[in-house]
C-alpha cells in the first residue's frame, strides 16, 4: 500500500492531509523491513507514495506511535454520564473518550468505529467497538444469541421467586412472547440486592424493565461481559484498548 493510503485508512485525515503530514516530515515507520539510519529509531519517510506492507508496522505520526490495524476491534470501559451516540443530547459522547484517528477512520457509509449495542448514560461497563460491518452484525443480531452478563444493584433484596420468574420469562410491552434471562443468580448471599443477569437479546432498557416486571427496581447497572470477553479489572472507567486477536476470534464464534 502507499503510505498516504495507509494513513488515510487509519483515520489521519483526507489523502491531501495525509500527504501534507508526510511532506512536512511528520511521519516515520518502524517494524518489519523498516531499517532506520539510527538503530532503535523509526524510519523517517518523506514520500507519500512510499509503498510497503503495513502489516505489523507502527506509524509514528507527529511523534505519536500508532500500530497499524486493517480493521479496528476494541473495548471501552464506559463510565456513567456518557451517551453511546455520535450526536449526544445532554451528556458527552463516549466517542470523545477515543483518540481522533479512531473517530475518523473511513468505514463504509459511516466514519469511525461504532459501538456494538448501546448502554444508557447511567449504565457502566463493557462496550465493544469496531468498523467491521460483518463483525458488528454478528454481535448485534438477535439471531446469534450472544450472551451479555450484567451486574445489577437492585433497590430491594432479590427474592428466590423473582429469580425464578426472570428465568421463566416476563412479559414486556414490546414483545409478543415472554422475555427470559439466559442465567440469573444472586452471587453473594451477604449482598442480596446484587443480581447477576445474563441476556441474549438487546431490547430497549431490557434489564431495567425485566427487573421492574418482577416488582423490584434497578439502582445501578454494569455490563461485565460480552460472549467470552470480560471487562478486565485493570481497564479503568473511560479507558480503552485494542482487542487481542484471540478475543476477536472468540467473539466471531
Q: Report the DSSP beta bridge partners of residue 183.
A: 198
CATH at residue 90: 3.30.70.580
Exactly one of 120, 122, 131, 188 is catalytic; name it.
Answer: 120
Length in residues, the chain: 253
Do both 151 and 212 map to the same domain?
A: yes
Told to judge if 120 belongs to the known catalytic residues of this protein, a careful annotator would answer yes
For cell 449482598, what's the residue? Answer: 191
- Residue 203, domain extent: 147-226
Residue-level pLDDT at 177: 87
Do both 54 and 165 map to the same domain?
A: no
For cell 457502566, what's the residue? Answer: 124
Residue-level pLDDT at 253: 80
CATH at residue 35: 3.10.290
Total of domains in the chain: 3
The model's pTM is 0.93
Do both 25 and 90 map to the same domain?
A: no
Pick from 200, 152, 205, 157: which is nearest to 180 by CA? 200
For cell 450526536, what's the residue? Answer: 87
What pLDDT tens digit does each residue of the chain (253 aa) get? 999 999 999 999 999 999 999 999 999 999 998 987 778 899 999 999 999 999 999 999 999 999 999 999 999 999 999 999 988 889 999 999 999 999 999 976 667 899 998 999 999 999 999 999 999 999 988 888 999 999 999 999 999 999 999 999 999 988 788 999 999 999 999 999 999 999 998 888 999 999 999 999 999 999 999 999 999 999 999 999 999 999 999 999 8
Residue-level pLDDT at 138: 92
Residue-level pLDDT at 55: 96
Q: Report the DSSP beta bridge partners of residue 149.
A: 198, 225
Give the number of other Cβ atoms within 10 Å of residue 246's Cβ.
Answer: 10
| Chain centroid, CA 92 distance in Å | 17
Residue-level pLDDT at 38: 79
Do both 248 and 153 map to the same domain?
A: no
Torsion of CA 230, 233, 236, 237, to 10 degrees: 50
Residue-level pLDDT at 109: 62
Amino acid at each position: 500500500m502507499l503510505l498516504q493510503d495507509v494513513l488515510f485508512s487509519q483515520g489521519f485525515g483526507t489523502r491531501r492531509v495525509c500527504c501534507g503530514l508526510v511532506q512536512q516530515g511528520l511521519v516515520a515507520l518502524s517494524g518489519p523491513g523498516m531499517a532506520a539510519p539510527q538503530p532503535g529509531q523509526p524510519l523517517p519517510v518523506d514520500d507519500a507514495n512510499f509503498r510497503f506492507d503495513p502489516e505489523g508496522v507502527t506509524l509514528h505520526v507527529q511523534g505519536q506511535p500508532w500500530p497499524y490495524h486493517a480493521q479496528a476491534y476494541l473495548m471501552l470501559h464506559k463510565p456513567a454520564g456518557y451517551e453511546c451516540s455520535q450526536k449526544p443530547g445532554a451528556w458527552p459522547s463516549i466517542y470523545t473518550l477515543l483518540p481522533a484517528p479512531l473517530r475518523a477512520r473511513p468505514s463504509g457509509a459511516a466514519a469511525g468505529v461504532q459501538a456494538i449495542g448501546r448502554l444508557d448514560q447511567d449504565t457502566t461497563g463493557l462496550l465493544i467497538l469496531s468498523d467491521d460491518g460483518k463483525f458488528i452484525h454478528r454481535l448485534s443480531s438477535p439471531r446469534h444469541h450472544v450472551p451479555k452478563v450484567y451486574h445489577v444493584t437492585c433497590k430491594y433484596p432479590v427474592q428466590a421467586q423473582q429469580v425464578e420468574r426472570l428465568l421463566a420469562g416476563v412479559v414486556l410491552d414490546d414483545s409478543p412472547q415472554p422475555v427470559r434471562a439466559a442465567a440469573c443468580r444472586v452471587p453473594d448471599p451477604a449482598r442480596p440486592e446484587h443480581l447477576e443477569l445474563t441476556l441474549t437479546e438487546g431490547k430497549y432498557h431490557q434489564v431495567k424493565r425485566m427487573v421492574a416486571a418482577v416488582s423490584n427496581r434497578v439502582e445501578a447497572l454494569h455490563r461485565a461481559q460480552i460472549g467470552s470477553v470480560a471487562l478486565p479489572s485493570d481497564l479503568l472507567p473511560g479507558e480503552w484498548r485494542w482487542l487481542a486477536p484471540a478475543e476477536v476470534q472468540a467473539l466471531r464464534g
